[in-house]
């Protein structure tokens, strides 16, 4: 069980966002019933472990949400997660997705 | 197949070995910048690779070591002997951490103890976090800033192989301001997305004073599988706006630069970059060291197969010779040449310089001499001498034991040495050299030498020799190789635990080698270990004694002479043949093997040399040169003296391979025993 949750426009990511659980997280994210016209926040508060596979999944998921017209924002990421996202220049990549 | 994690572990151990060697070199030369740089590179690589493979605790630990080494490089700290001790202990600690990615509680505690020791010596830089270091390490040269366009595509299975991109990106960020981008819009079909497969290509514009080699090193563990392209251009050649913007960059990247980078990437498709052959372009996948790693077990299998091939070849040669078929003989000869080349090539693959094991001996001498409060210097000569890997692996323990003995029993304390006008620092000289097809390793110390009186007394006490027997010094020295013999008055941590020189001797004999000893009281002791270069194949001289065939190693053979009628008439146990004025003792093999068949009319004596001594072996017939695959004798034949193995002949029969040194030793022992009994009877 990956513990992906969706409530009040917030998708809560599970604690393990690594290669070891990304398949399950992917299946859970796909299974979420997201209202396509709303904005959505991706919440990192539960995330303890995060690797390249987790970030790629997050990119793909974000891209999918943006493509479906959602306004995506991110919240509650720790300094460590923020640093990893900055290494990959994640937020600029998201900005590029929004432009396309 | 060796996985990336196994490669990582192997390479960490290699770096630790190199680090240990460098640290031991640094102890007498703490000011040697090049050595400090080498130590830094080892630790830096372990740290970087550790992070890549998920060894985050290891990365955090090595980060502290790296920081201190960096301070040493800058001249802020002197590499003291105590500090070297901590680094050596840290190396030992790291080597035990590779089984699990995270530290156990005990390991955490051990790492803290080491770090406390480290920081008590050099102080702690409190501004620094463990892993999340942002400041670029001060490892750059003082050259101008350069701009690199780095593009890399991880292998699709890289996540599954445990190869993450974050350590790579973190490392690149540590080099200087950079702009990272990827094409996330490739994920157009989320419904069929495979999250376990790496899809992204990464592009980085980096401004740094680092050399391209430093950036290449970042990819050293993935360069076989990932597509990596590093294109270098001087920052002065960049457009002004980009140059200014990059100079302004700290952590975030402006949209302007991002788009510039994107356009650069779009202008240069991956395929174009990969195929570009430019002098200032480094394509890692094509510029790797042309070596490959294979498991040692595969080499062993290859060696065994070549051994079987050599046996079949011998059989073919035999059949071809008896069939008198010219075509067959021609093919057999051609195949024989190829087999010989293949044998030699396979043999050479397994050869390693003995110097690869010298590092651990230096460490041993350092640690034990400190423990025993002695001053000892280890001098190594001939580290480039090559030896079969299998021999080398098995040789390590006996050599360690011999060196421990020299440190514990041989070299005297500083006070004892100065009282007899010897230099305070004792020396142990470890020499390796080729001699024929053998390697001779000697361990010579300038210590107190063997105490012959004490050895004799102890041997009598232990019942090894009877009381009242008169023995030469050399014979007394040989007694230390007897089982259960120990001259230590007090059992120390170093030796005297019951595992004595007999075990050393047996280990060396199991390798087909021999050990000899020379000692002069007050002057020192020298152990000489003589080993075959390989355990697999030898060139032999086949001889016949009675109905049996035997093989003598050709490397020992000097010449064959016909036995004179005068020699044939000798019946005493001492047999001497005169060869060009030199008296050479010989052994009648048919007597030794108790052959009852009638003696042939003409017999041959094969003159051999063992070390500097010459001796002969009388045989019924010399058959000729024979390439021989050595098959080890099973445990059931352990007691059989004088054989180094057996071989299968072309017709499927077995021939024993004679070990001239062991054979003579056994014969000499038998002769001595008879002599002792004779003396006792008198």
Q: SS3 for B387? A: strand
Decide if B200 touches A, using CB distance below 8 A.
yes
Strongest mean pLDDT among A87-91, A96-100, B388-392:
A87-91
> Is B200 in Cβ contact with A60 (below 8 Å)?
no
Q: CA A16, CA A50: separation in Å to the nearest integer?
A: 7
Q: Mutation target for A interface from B189, B190, B246: give the one with most A CBs within 10 A.
A: B190
Decide if B235 touches A, using CB distance below 8 A.
no
Our CA-based measurement puts residue B14 at a distance from the nearest CA of chain A, in whole angstroms, of 28
Contacts of A62 in chain B (CB under 8 A): 184
Decide if A30 touches B, using CB distance below 8 A.
yes
Give the pLDDT confidence score for residue B142 in this predicted structure.
44
Give the pLDDT confidence score for residue B675 in this predicted structure.
57
Give the pLDDT confidence score for residue A2 in this predicted structure.
60
The average pLDDT across B114-138 equals 60
> Is A53 in Cβ contact with B181 (below 8 Å)?
no
- CA-nearest of B401, B419, B416 to B494 is B401
Decide if B56 touches A, using CB distance below 8 A.
no
Our CA-based measurement puts residue A23 at a distance from the nearest CA of chain B, in whole angstroms, of 6
Give the pLDDT confidence score for residue B179 in this predicted structure.
83
Residue B673 has pLDDT above 70, yes or no: no
The average pLDDT across B105-113 equals 86
Decide if A83 touches B, using CB distance below 8 A.
yes
Q: CA B18, CA B540: separation in Å to the nearest integer?
A: 39
> Is B199 in Cβ contact with A56 (below 8 Å)?
yes
Decide if B253 touches A, using CB distance below 8 A.
yes
B475-510 pLDDT, tens digit per residue, is: 888 888 887 776 544 434 444 444 578 888 878 877
- CA-nearest of B68, B257, B72 to B179 is B257
**3 state SS for B297-316:** HHHHHHHHHHHHHHHHHHHH
> Is B200 in Cβ contact with A59 (below 8 Å)?
yes
> Is B195 in Cβ contact with A23 (below 8 Å)?
yes
In this structure, the number of other CB atoms found within 10 A of the CB of residue B564 comes to 13
Confidence of residue B672 (pLDDT cuts 50, 70, 90): low
Q: Mutation target for B interface from A17, A19, A91, A99: give the one with most B CBs within 10 A.
A: A19
> Is A86 in Cβ contact with B193 (below 8 Å)?
no
Please, are residues B437 and B533 in contact by the beta-carbon 8 Å criterion?
yes
Edge-to-edge strand list for the sheet holding B548-553 = B621-629, B537-545, B548-553, B654-658, B643-648
Give the pLDDT confidence score for residue A44 in this predicted structure.
92
DSSP B184: G
Our CA-based measurement puts residue B147 at a distance from the nearest CA of chain A, in whole angstroms, of 18
Lowest average pLDDT, out of B12-21, B233-242, B371-380, goes to B233-242
Please, are residues B592 and B670 in contact by the beta-carbon 8 Å criterion?
no
Give the pLDDT confidence score for residue B454 in this predicted structure.
87
Decide if A26 touches B, using CB distance below 8 A.
yes
Decide which of B471 and B2 is more confident: B471
In this structure, the number of other CB atoms found within 10 A of the CB of residue B626 comes to 21
B630-641 pLDDT, tens digit per residue, is: 777 777 776 777
Q: CA B360, CA B440: separation in Å to the nearest integer?
A: 19
Residue of B nearest to A61 (CA): B190
In this structure, the number of other CB atoms found within 10 A of the CB of residue B247 comes to 11
Confidence of residue B145 (pLDDT cuts 50, 70, 90): confident
Decide which of B98 and B328 is more confident: B328
Decide if B252 touches A, using CB distance below 8 A.
yes
Radius of gyration of chain B, Cα coordinates, nearest whole angstrom: 33
Decide if B260 touches A, using CB distance below 8 A.
no
Q: SS3 for B406? A: helix
Q: CA B343, CA B388: separation in Å to the nearest integer?
A: 13
Lowest average pLDDT, out of A82-86, B47-51, B274-278, goes to B274-278
Residue-wise DSSP of B479-524: GGGSTT----SS--SSS-SS--HHHHHHHHHHTT-EEEEEEETTTE
Residue B260 has pLDDT above 50, yes or no: no
Contacts of B180 in chain A (CB under 8 A): 87-89
Residue B580 has pLDDT above 80, yes or no: yes
Q: Mutation target for A interface from B195, B206, B249: give the one with most A CBs within 10 A.
A: B195
Edge-to-edge strand list for the sheet holding B202-208 = B178-182, B202-208, B146-153, B227-234, B281-282
Decide which of B537 and B680 is more confident: B537
Please, are residues B175 and B206 in contact by the beta-carbon 8 Å criterion?
yes
Cβ contacts of B513 within 8 Å, gap of 6 or more: B438, B529, B530, B531, B532
Please, are residues B517 and B415 in contact by the beta-carbon 8 Å criterion?
no
Element (H, E) at B437: none
The average pLDDT across B126-155 equals 59
Decide if B184 touches A, using CB distance below 8 A.
yes
A vs B, Cβ pairs < 8 A, gives: 99
The three-point CA angle B676-B681-B682 to 5° equals: 100
pTM for the structure as a whole: 0.54
DSSP B651: T
Q: Where are the alpha helices (DSSP H) in B499-607?
A: 501-510, 565-569, 589-592
> Is A64 in Cβ contact with B169 (below 8 Å)?
no
- CA-nearest of B26, B90, B30, B22 to B58 is B90
Is B636 exposed, middle or buried, given 0-12, 13-18 or 19+ CB atoms closer than 10 A?
Answer: exposed
> Is A61 in Cβ contact with B190 (below 8 Å)?
yes
Q: CA B122, CA B78: separation in Å to the nearest integer?
A: 9
The three-point CA angle B471-B475-B478 to 5° equals: 145
In this structure, the number of other CB atoms found within 10 A of the CB of residue B278 comes to 10
Our CA-based measurement puts residue A8 at a distance from the nearest CA of chain B, in whole angstroms, of 23
Give the pLDDT confidence score for residue B680 in this predicted structure.
47
Strongest mean pLDDT among B54-58, B244-248, B258-262, B341-345:
B341-345
The three-point CA angle B223-B300-B536 to 5° equals: 135
Lowest average pLDDT, out of B176-180, B428-432, B487-491, B550-554, goes to B487-491
In this structure, the number of other CB atoms found within 10 A of the CB of residue B274 comes to 16
Give the pLDDT confidence score for residue B370 in this predicted structure.
87
The average pLDDT across A69-97 equals 87
Give the pLDDT confidence score for residue B286 in this predicted structure.
36
Taking the alpha carbons at both ends of chain A, their separation in whole angstroms is 34
In this structure, the number of other CB atoms found within 10 A of the CB of residue B133 comes to 16
Contacts of A60 in chain B (CB under 8 A): 184, 187, 190, 193, 195
Confidence of residue B335 (pLDDT cuts 50, 70, 90): very high
Contacts of B56 in chain A (CB under 8 A): none
Give the pLDDT confidence score for residue B276 in this predicted structure.
31
> Is B188 in Cβ contact with A67 (below 8 Å)?
yes
> Is B255 in Cβ contact with A95 (below 8 Å)?
yes
Give the pLDDT confidence score for residue B571 in this predicted structure.
60
Contacts of B190 in chain A (CB under 8 A): 30, 60-61, 63-64
Among the partner-chain residues B165, B182, B251, the one whose CB lies closest to the CB of A86 is B251
Strongest mean pLDDT among B388-397, B508-517, B584-593:
B584-593
Our CA-based measurement puts residue A29 at a distance from the nearest CA of chain B, in whole angstroms, of 10
A 40-69 near B (Cβ less than 8 A): 51-53, 55-57, 59-64, 67
Lowest average pLDDT, out of A15-19, B55-59, B252-256, goes to B252-256
Q: CA B427, CA B444: separation in Å to the nearest integer?
A: 8
- Is the ipTM above a cut-off of 0.85? yes
Q: CA B97, CA B100: separation in Å to the nearest integer?
A: 6
Mark B206-215 as b/e (b = at least 16 C-beta within 10 Å): bbbbbebebb
Among the partner-chain residues B159, B180, B184, the one whose CB lies closest to the CB of A97 is B184
B532-562 pLDDT, tens digit per residue, is: 776 667 778 999 999 999 999 887 889 999 8
DSSP A4: -
Residue B207 has pLDDT above 70, yes or no: yes
């Amino acid at each position: 069980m990956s513990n992906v949750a969706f409530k009040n426009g917030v998708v809560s990511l599970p604690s393990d966002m690594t290669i070891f659980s990304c398949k399950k997280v992917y299946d859970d994210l796909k299974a979420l019933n997201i209202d396509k016209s709303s904005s959505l926040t991706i919440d990192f508060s539960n995330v303890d472990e995060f690797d390249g596979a987790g970030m790629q999944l997050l990119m793909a998921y974000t891209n999918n949400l943006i493509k479906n017209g959602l306004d995506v924002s991110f919240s509650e990421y720790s300094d460590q997660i923020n640093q990893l996202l900055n290494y990959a220049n994640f937020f600029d990549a998201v900005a590029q997705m929004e432009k396309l | 197949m060796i996985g990336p994690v196994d490669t990582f572990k192997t390479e960490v151990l290699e770096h630790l070995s190199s680090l240990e060697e460098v640290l031991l070199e640094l102890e007498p030369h703490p000011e040697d910048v090049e050595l400090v740089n080498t130590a830094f590179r080892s630790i830096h690589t372990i740290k970087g690779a550790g992070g890549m493979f998920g060894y985050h605790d290891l990365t955090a630990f090595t980060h502290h070591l790296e920081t201190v080494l960096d301070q040493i490089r800058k001249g802020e700290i002197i590499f003291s002997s105590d500090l070297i001790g901590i680094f050596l202990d840290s190396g030992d600690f790291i080597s035990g951490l590779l089984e699990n990615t995270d530290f156990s509680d005990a390991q955490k505690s051990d790492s803290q103890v080491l770090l406390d020791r480290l920081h008590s010596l050099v102080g702690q830089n409190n501004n620094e976090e463990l892993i999340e270091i942002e400041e670029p390490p001060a490892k750059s040269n003082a050259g101008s800033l350069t701009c690199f366009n780095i593009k890399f595509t991880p292998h699709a299975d890289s996540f599954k192989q445990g190869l993450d991109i974050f350590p790579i990106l973190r490392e690149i960020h540590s080099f200087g301001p950079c702009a990272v981008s990827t094409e996330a819009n490739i994920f157009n079909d989320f419904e069929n997305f495979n999250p376990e497969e790496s899809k992204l290509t990464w592009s980085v514009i980096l401004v740094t004073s680092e050399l391209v080699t430093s950036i290449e090193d970042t990819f050293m563990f993935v360069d076989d599988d990932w597509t990596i392209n590093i294109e270098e251009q001087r920052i002065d050649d960049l457009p002004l706006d980009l140059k200014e913007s990059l100079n302004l960059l700290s952590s975030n990247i402006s949209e302007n630069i991002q788009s510039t980078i994107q356009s650069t990437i779009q202008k240069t498709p991956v395929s174009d970059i990969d195929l570009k052959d430019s002098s200032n372009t480094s394509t890692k996948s094509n510029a790797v060291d042309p070596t490959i790693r294979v498991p040692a077990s595969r080499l062993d299998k290859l060696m065994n197969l070549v051994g079987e091939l050599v046996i079949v070849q011998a059989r073919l040669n035999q059949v071809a010779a008896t069939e008198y078929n010219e075509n067959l003989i021609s093919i057999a000869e051609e195949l024989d040449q190829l087999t010989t080349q293949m044998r030699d090539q396979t043999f050479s693959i397994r050869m390693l310089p003995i110097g690869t094991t010298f590092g651990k001996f230096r460490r041993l001498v350092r640690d034990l001499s400190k423990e025993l409060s002695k001053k000892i210097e280890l001098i190594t000569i001939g580290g480039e001498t090559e030896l079969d890997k299998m021999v080398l692996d098995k040789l390590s323990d006996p050599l360690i034991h011999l060196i421990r003995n020299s440190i514990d029993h041989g070299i005297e304390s500083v006070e004892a040495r100065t009282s007899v006008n010897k230099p305070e620092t004792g020396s142990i000289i470890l020499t390796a050299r080729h001699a024929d097809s053998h390697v001779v390793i000697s361990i010579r110390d300038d210590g107190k030498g063997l105490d012959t009186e004490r050895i004799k007394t102890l041997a009598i006490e232990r019942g090894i020799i009877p009381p009242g027997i008169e023995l030469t010094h050399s014979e007394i020295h040989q007694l230390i190789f007897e089982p259960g013999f120990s001259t230590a008055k007090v059992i120390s941590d170093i030796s005297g635990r019951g595992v004595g020189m007999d075990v050393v001797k047996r280990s060396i004999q199991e390798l087909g080698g021999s050990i000899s000893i020379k000692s002069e009281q007050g002057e020192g002791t020298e152990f000489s270990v003589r080993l075959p270069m390989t355990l697999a194949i030898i060139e032999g001289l086949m001889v016949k004694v009675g109905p049996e065939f035997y093989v003598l190693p050709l490397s020992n053979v000097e010449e064959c002479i016909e036995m004179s009628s005068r020699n044939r008439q000798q019946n005493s146990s001492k047999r001497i043949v005169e060869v060009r004025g030199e008296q050479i003792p010989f052994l009648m093999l048919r007597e030794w093997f108790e052959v009852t068949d009638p003696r042939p009319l003409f017999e041959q004596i094969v003159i051999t040399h063992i070390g500097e001594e010459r001796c002969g072996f009388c045989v019924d017939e010399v058959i000729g040169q024979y390439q021989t695959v050595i098959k080890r004798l099973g445990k059931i034949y352990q007691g059989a003296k004088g054989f180094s193995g057996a071989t299968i002949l072309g017709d499927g029969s077995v021939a024993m391979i004679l070990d001239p040194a062991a054979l003579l030793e056994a014969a000499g022992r038998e002769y001595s025993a008879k002599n002792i009994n004779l003396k006792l009877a008198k």
